[in-house]
Amino acid sequence: MKVKLAKTAGFCFGVKRAVDMVYEQLEKNEGASIYTYGPIIHNEEVIKDMEKKGVKVIREDASLEGVKKGIVIIRSHGVPKAACDELDKAGMICVDATCPFVKKIHTIVEGAGAKGEHVIIIGNPGHPEVKGIVGWAKGPVTVLQTVEEAKKFALKEPKPVCIVSQTTFNYNKFKELVEIIREKSYDISVLNTICSATKERQTEAESIAQEVDAMIVIGDKHSSNTQKLFEICKNACKDTYYIQTLDDLNSNQLRSVETVGITAGASTPNNIIEEVQNNVRIIF
């Protein structure tokens, strides 16, 4: 009986940095009103712990009117430029916890728009990271997520095209969509902005899933990178299970298997991963 835990499972650099910044603000500014603009990361357990310590979440669609002035920590996914301007106007003290890799994309699309280029973002249009990136574009911008959308894409008039990606997008799908756009013979520049840690996590997860009888993917249901991990693992191992915490794990499903692989999304705390791993070992 064997349990194989992915080395890349758990907090990535950007997520750990953002979470640490919230707790640092709580420690340095005791008694102050501390907010995060949107959930700081996609993990309910982490958000609940912060709320217990007094951190409030400002919804993206909420008005700041009547909100007590204080410290607002920009989430790891980033926000549109207009949101930053609104917070400044409201007199909030902003602490930017945007992942540096996401921040780099903001700079790229802002610069591309200023040069008159059409920006294509390959990613999920409903994801907060993508919404934030769109909000930094100074000119026309298109978000593409599927093969069908890429095939339908067409410019009304010729102009240079700059292609970037959501940091947690599936690397193989990104390449596929880029190739479809290349066939249209536009003047394009492609910047693979998928986080290297994301690619490593996906590659390792797929490799483990191919070797085991069952695979467990741990992460919040709203986590884009965890959803991608589940999709990749499910393709490699039909008995793949997506859980948020140990409470979601049905141990009966694992009793007849000899090897189990475990990976976790970039927003999953180590204590949850360890709890699942230890419980699986007990089953065996």
Question: What's the mean pLDDT in 214-240?
Answer: 94
Instruction: Say yes or no to pLDDT of 62 above 90.
Output: no
pLDDT value of position 120? 98
3-state secondary structure of 128: helix
What does each C-alpha distance from 224 to 48, 89, 117, 238, 264 come to in angstroms? 19, 31, 28, 20, 12
Instruction: Give the count of domains, the chain.
Output: 3
Q: Which residues are catalytic?
A: 129
> How many beta carbons lie within 10 A of that of residue 11, not counting itself?
23
Instruction: Please tell me the distance from the alpha carbon of residue 205 to that of residue 142, in angstroms, as a whole number.
Output: 30
**pLDDT of 282 strictly over 70:** yes
**Mean pLDDT across 208-219:** 97
107, 55: one domain: no
Mean per-residue pLDDT of the chain: 93
First-residue to last-residue Cα distance in the chain: 7
Query: Do 110 and 58 share a structural domain?
Result: no
Give residue 269's pLDDT.
94
The pTM (predicted TM-score) of the whole model is 0.85
One domain for residues 45 and 57: yes
112: tokens are 């591309």
Rg over alpha carbons for the chain, rounded to the nearest Å, is 20
- Do 200 and 279 belong to one domain? yes
pLDDT > 70? residue 283: no
105-155: pLDDT as tens digits: 999 999 999 999 999 999 999 999 999 999 999 999 999 999 999 999 999
Q: Is the domain of 202 the same as that of 179?
A: no
Whether residues 88 and 106 share a domain: the answer is no
CA dihedral sign of residues 6, 10, 15, 20 = negative
Model confidence at 1, pLDDT cuts 50, 70, 90, reads low
Last residue within a domain, chosen from 171, 190, 209: 190
How far is the C-alpha of 88 from the C-alpha of 82, rounded, in Å?
Answer: 10
The pLDDT value given to residue 66: 78
Q: What is the pLDDT of residue 240?
A: 97
pLDDT for res 85: 93
275 and 260 in a single domain? The answer is: yes
**pLDDT greater at residue 209 or residue 279:** 209
Instruction: Kindly report, residue by residue over 258-274, the tens digit of the pLDDT.
Output: 999 999 999 999 999 99
Residue 205 belongs to what domain range?
2-11+196-283
Low-confidence winner among 61-70, 107-116, 188-197, 221-230 (lowest mean pLDDT): 61-70
Q: Residues 147-205: pLDDT tens digits?
A: 999 999 999 888 999 999 999 898 889 999 999 999 999 999 999 999 988 889 999 99
* pLDDT reported for residue 65: 79
Domain termination residue (choose one: 99, 127, 157): 99
Tell me: do 90 and 142 sit in the same domain: no
* Whole-number pLDDT of residue 248: 94
CATH code of residue 91: 3.40.50.11270
Domain termination site, one of 72, 99, 126: 99
Q: Same structural domain for residues 205 and 279?
A: yes
CATH number where 226 lies: 3.40.1010.20
pLDDT band per the 50, 70, 90 thresholds, residue 284: low
Residues 222 and 182 reside in one and the same domain = no
